[in-house]
């Protein structure tokens, strides 16, 4: 019998189903491709948006740092109110002292870029003092100078021993033949270099192994004044970096600014001296890295301090080119900051807290 009008035979229906299935599968593939393409576009837009947000966050952080810096600069203006003739005289004096080019003892060209981390090790002793590891190679001993006027150093065999000690109970005590003054002392290659002040500033070199004075020298300046206005007990701050021993000081003849001297660690002779443009006012501490002086100032904001002035004896970087380095929130003020060139750490004493700052470095030529 012939098929009825308007009806499909079974083979025709099967052929139609195959045709429709093929068409549906093709449409599904096209829809899938469209969805994949749209998802890829959304992922790209999401990544671009994330990068834009990161950029906005970076710009906000930069604006906040610049505002902090401007507030600090505005607050320090009255301290720089000197007449033009005095400024010209000081500039001439600095240029004359720097005519003799400083010969570097190393090829070190690192410069601090920022502070990576802060670790509060413990709290022991008074509000002011010094703690530091021996900055020479091969020694892990830690030394505590508690207070600003004493004759006893506390020695620990390691940072770990100091951290787990109940107070200073695990320390070995070293009694010096004379009292140290201020917070400007360092330990370098098994020798303690400390400041003894009666009428003149005397740098004493003490052998920690043999327990005897190796040498001492009167520092050749007259009418000295405290080097930092916020740490008046410190008339001189000794520092060690990759190039050896330094002295940070100030005199009444140039009492608005900080001066710097390179010392021979063996003989205590003065190798060269500089007058810097770093003001004493609002300064709390300083340190040296690769022949560059970093002076830390107390900002107007509570719990904030930062490096506001940089002076490079090798003229590789200027104060204007140096990055603004801010310290994390602190307790009071840094009475001492001691740099360890072997670890690239700062050993800080802050209101009785012993703190470690991990530094991020970069080459001076990259600034």
Q: Residue 22: pLDDT band by 50, 70, 90 thresholds?
A: confident
Q: Are residues 66 and 128 in the same domain?
A: no
| Same domain? 184 vs 317 | yes
Please check whether residues 219 and 361 belong to one and the same domain: yes
* Shared domain check, 221 and 145: yes
At 102 the pLDDT is: 60
Q: Tell which of 46, 81, 116 closes a domain.
A: 81
Same domain, 318 and 362: yes
Residue 59 reports pLDDT greater than 70:
no
Tell me what pLDDT residue 80 has. Answer: 37
Residue 65 has pLDDT above 80, yes or no: no
Answer whether residue 295 is part of any domain: yes
* Cβ proximity of 177 and 217 under 8 Å: no
Split at pLDDT 50, 70, 90, the class of 70 is very low
pLDDT of 283 strictly over 60: yes
Query: Does pLDDT of 89 surpass 60?
Result: no
Q: Which domain holds residue 33?
A: 1-81
At residue 72 the predicted structure's pLDDT band, cuts being 50, 70 and 90, is: very low
The answer on 280 and 211 residing in a single domain is yes
> How much is the pLDDT for 79?
37
Q: Report the DSSP pairing between strands 305-312 and 325-326.
A: antiparallel
Mean pLDDT over residues 337-349, rounded? Answer: 94
- φ/ψ of 157, rounded to 5, equals -70, -20
The rounded distance, in Å, linking the Cα atoms of 340 and 342 is 6
Q: Residue 106 has what pLDDT?
A: 62
* 87 within some domain: no
92 assigned to some structural domain: no
Residue 7 has a pLDDT of 52
Say how many domains are in the chain.
2
* CATH, residue 218: 2.120.10
Q: Check residues 198 and 253 and name the one with the higher pLDDT.
A: 253
Residue 346 lies inside a defined structural domain of this protein: yes
Q: What is the mean pLDDT of the chain?
A: 83
Tens-place pLDDT, residues 155-176? 999 999 999 999 998 999 999 9
Assign 314 a pLDDT band (cuts: 50, 70, 90).
confident
Predicted local distance difference test score (pLDDT) of residue 302: 59
- Lowest average pLDDT, out of 83-92, 309-318, 338-347, goes to 83-92
- Where b means 16+ CB within 10 Å and e means fewer, 108-119 reads bbbbbbebeeee
- pLDDT value at position 157? 93
Residue 358: is its pLDDT beyond 90?
Answer: yes
Q: Measuring CA to CA, how many Å separate 262 from each of 85, 105, 116, 134, 288?
A: 29, 11, 29, 19, 11
Least-confidence region, from 21-30, 71-80, 123-132, 176-185: 71-80
- Structure confidence at residue 1 (pLDDT): 47
Query: CA 253, 215, 268, 135: dihedral to nearest 10 degrees?
Result: -110
The phi and psi torsions of 200 (rounded to 5 degrees) equal -120, 160
Quick one: what percent of the chain has pLDDT higher than 70? 80
Res. 24: pLDDT tops 70? yes
Residues 223 and 354 in one domain: yes
Cα gap 82→366, rounded to integer Å:
34
Look at residue 89 and tell me if it is in a domain: no
Spatial contact of 259 and 275, defined as CB atoms under 8 Å apart: yes
Tens of pLDDT, residue by residue over 243-282, are 999 999 999 888 899 999 999 999 999 999 999 999 999 9
In this structure, the answer to whether residues 38 and 159 fall within a common structural domain is no
User: Which residue, of 81, 96, 121, is where some domain finishes?
Assistant: 81
Based on the fold, state whether residues 258 and 303 are members of the same structural domain: yes
| Mean pLDDT computed over 315-331 | 81
Give the domain-ending residue among 81, 96, 116: 81
Please report whether residue 88 resides in a domain: no
Tell whether 120 and 258 lie within a shared domain: yes
Q: Is residue 99 part of a domain?
A: no
Whether residues 324 and 179 share a domain: the answer is: yes
Q: Is the same domain home to 254 and 163?
A: yes
Q: Is residue 355 a contact partner of residue 305, using CB atoms and an 8 Å limit?
A: no
Per mean pLDDT, which range of 51-65, 242-256, 299-313 is the poorest? 51-65
pLDDT at position 2 is: 46
Q: Does 91 reside within a domain?
A: no
């Amino acid at each position: 019998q012939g098929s009825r009008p308007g009806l499909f035979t079974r083979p025709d229906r099967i052929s139609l189903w195959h045709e429709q299935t093929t068409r549906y599968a093709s449409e599904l593939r096209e829809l899938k491709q469209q969805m994949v393409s749209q998802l890829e576009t959304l992922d790209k837009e999401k990544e671009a948006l994330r990068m834009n947000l990161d950029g906005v966050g970076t710009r906000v952080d930069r604006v906040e740092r610049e505002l902090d810096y401007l507030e600090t600069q505005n607050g320090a203006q009255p301290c720089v109110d000197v007449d033009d003739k005095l400024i010209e005289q000081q500039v001439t004096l600095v240029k004359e002292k720097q005519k003799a080019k400083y010969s570097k003892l190393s090829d070190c060209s690192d410069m601090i870029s920022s502070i990576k981390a802060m670790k509060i090790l413990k709290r022991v002793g008074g509000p002011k003092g010094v703690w530091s590891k021996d900055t020479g190679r091969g020694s892990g001993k830690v030394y505590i100078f508690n207070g600003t006027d004493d004759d006893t150093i506390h020695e620990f065999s390691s940072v770990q021993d100091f951290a787990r000690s109940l107070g200073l109970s695990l320390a070995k005590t070293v009694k010096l033949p004379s009292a140290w003054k201020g917070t400007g002392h360092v330990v370098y290659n098994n020798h303690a270099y400390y400041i003894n002040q009666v009428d003149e500033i005397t740098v004493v070199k003490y052998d920690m192994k043999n327990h005897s004075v190796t040498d001492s020298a009167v520092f050749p300046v007259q009418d000295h004044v405290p080097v930092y206005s916020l740490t008046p007990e410190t008339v001189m701050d000794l520092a060690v970096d990759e190039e050896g021993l330094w002295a940070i000081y100030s005199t009444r003849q140039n009492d608005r600014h900080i001066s710097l001297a390179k010392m021979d660690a063996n003989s205590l002779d003065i190798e060269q001296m500089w007058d810097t443009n770093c003001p004493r006012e609002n300064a709390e501490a300083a340190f040296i890295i690769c022949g560059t002086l970093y002076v830390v100032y107390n900002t107007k904001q509570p719990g904030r301090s930062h490096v506001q002035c940089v002076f490079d004896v090798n003229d590789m970087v200027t104060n204007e080119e140096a990055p603004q380095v801010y310290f994390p929130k602190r307790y009071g003020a840094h009475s001492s900051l001691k740099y360890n060139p072997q670890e690239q750490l700062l050993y800080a004493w802050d209101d009785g807290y012993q703190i470690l700052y991990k530094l991020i470095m970069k080459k001076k030529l990259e600034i």
